[in-house]
């Protein structure tokens, strides 16, 4: 996983990161899906332990270009986990009430509590991505937000939250293929929006915005991973590996029962 982790204080050029890459000891889809099934089993146990121990908090941030696979990643990586301890939060266009507060106000309310995994499907980073590309606020406003976000995530980490951030990296050609698939398949047309085509014309602007995000907000306490995402099975495998590794590193244990059960007999 180290090769996908963005170094802190490093300038990122996405041209240097291959969205088609496959590495490690898995080089075909069938083998990758078998390995993912094993990781799903490990994740199910680790997540149950996290919930039972009620000590740690885990925040997973997913960002991507349109069609990058955030929904698919959530569906495949977290298959089988206990829904009591896993929650997905999505951040759409801010409401009028949310706009009356600072941009992190709505985000902080969705961060995980003890024993919980929360997955951000899009996140506070929209406020230095969409906001920047569409010039929704002045440049002198959004430029301050990189440091503010780093401090916000440091607060969460200091309070016991493990933070993993994944940029699902697809090529422009792969995005075209996925959009065309949605357009051609009647079962997928509900996902298609002509607004996606307008956003696609801003591809290079989004690349520049993501490069600055990845360069300025990958920290020791909240690292970014650039995940090769043209191959969906490999994308899922990389994310699942990182999440399982992070949970193992928490050295969790099931808690002792709250009362002495040694004399309990069930008749």
Q: Quick one: pLDDT at residue 222?
A: 97
Rounded Cα gap, residues 41 and 30, in angstroms: 17
Residue 186: pLDDT band (50, 70, 90) is confident
Q: Quick one: pLDDT at residue 9?
A: 78
104: pLDDT strictly greater than 90: yes
10: pLDDT strictly greater than 80: no
Query: E-assigned strands of the chain?
Result: 57-64, 86-90, 117-121, 161-169, 224-228
Nearest to 65 by CA among 258, 219, 243, 196: 196
The mean pLDDT of 110-131, rounded to a whole number, is: 97
Residue 46: pLDDT band (50, 70, 90) is very high
Q: Which run of H or of E encompasses 48?
A: helix 29-53
260: pLDDT strictly greater than 90: no
Instruction: Report in angstroms the alpha-carbon separations of 261 from 51, 54, 165.
Output: 21, 21, 42
| Bridge partner list, 62 | 121, 166
Rounded Cα gap, residues 263 and 62, in angstroms: 48
201: pLDDT strictly greater than 90: yes
* Mean per-residue pLDDT of the chain: 94
Q: How many other CB atoms are found less than 10 A from the CB of residue 216? A: 20
Q: Which two tokens stand for residue 259?
A: 């009362």
Q: Which domains does the chain have, with CATH numbers?
A: 2-248 (3.40.50.300)
82: pLDDT strictly greater than 90: no
The mean pLDDT of 122-133, rounded to a whole number, is: 96
Nearest to 59 by CA among 247, 211, 252, 248: 247
Q: Quick one: pLDDT at residue 261?
A: 79
Q: Quick one: pLDDT at residue 163?
A: 98
Q: Quick one: pLDDT at residue 2?
A: 87
Residue 8: pLDDT band (50, 70, 90) is confident
Residue 216: pLDDT band (50, 70, 90) is very high
3-state per-residue secondary structure call for 159-209: CCEEEEEEEEECCHHHHHHHHHHHHHCCCCHHHCCHHHHHHHCCHHHHHHH
Nearest to 161 by CA among 209, 228, 121, 108: 108
Q: Which two tokens stand for residue 61?
A: 């941030």
């Amino acid at each position: 996983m180290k090769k996908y982790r963005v170094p802190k204080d490093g300038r990122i050029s996405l041209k240097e990161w291959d969205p088609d890459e496959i590495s490690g000891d898995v080089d075909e889809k069938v083998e990758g899906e078998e390995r993912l099934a094993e990781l799903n089993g490990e994740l199910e146990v680790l997540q149950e332990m996290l919930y039972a121990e009620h000590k740690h908090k885990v925040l997973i941030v997913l960002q991507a270009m349109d069609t990058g696979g955030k929904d698919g990643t959530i569906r495949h990586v977290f298959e089988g986990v206990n829904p009591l301890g896993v929650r997905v939060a999505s951040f759409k266009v801010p409401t009028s009430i949310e706009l009356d507060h600072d941009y992190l106000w709505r985000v902080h309310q969705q961060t995980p509590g003890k024993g919980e995994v929360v997955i951000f499907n899009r996140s506070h980073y929209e406020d230095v991505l969409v906001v920047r590309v569409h010039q929704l606020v002045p440049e002198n406003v959004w430029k301050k937000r990189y440091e503010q976000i780093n401090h916000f995530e440091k607060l969460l980490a200091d309070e016991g939250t493990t933070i993993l951030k994944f940029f699902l990296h697809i090529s422009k050609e792969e995005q075209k293929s996925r959009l065309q698939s949605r357009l051609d398949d009647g079962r997928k047309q509900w996902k298609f929006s002509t607004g996606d085509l307008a956003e696609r014309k801003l591809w290079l602007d989004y690349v520049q915005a993501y490069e600055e995000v990845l360069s300025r907000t990958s920290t020791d306490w909240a690292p970014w991973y650039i995940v090769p995402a043209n191959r969906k099975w490999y994308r899922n495998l990389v994310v699942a590996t990182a999440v399982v590794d992070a949970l193992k590193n928490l050295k969790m244990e099931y808690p002792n029962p709250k009362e002495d059960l040694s004399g309990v007999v069930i008749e």
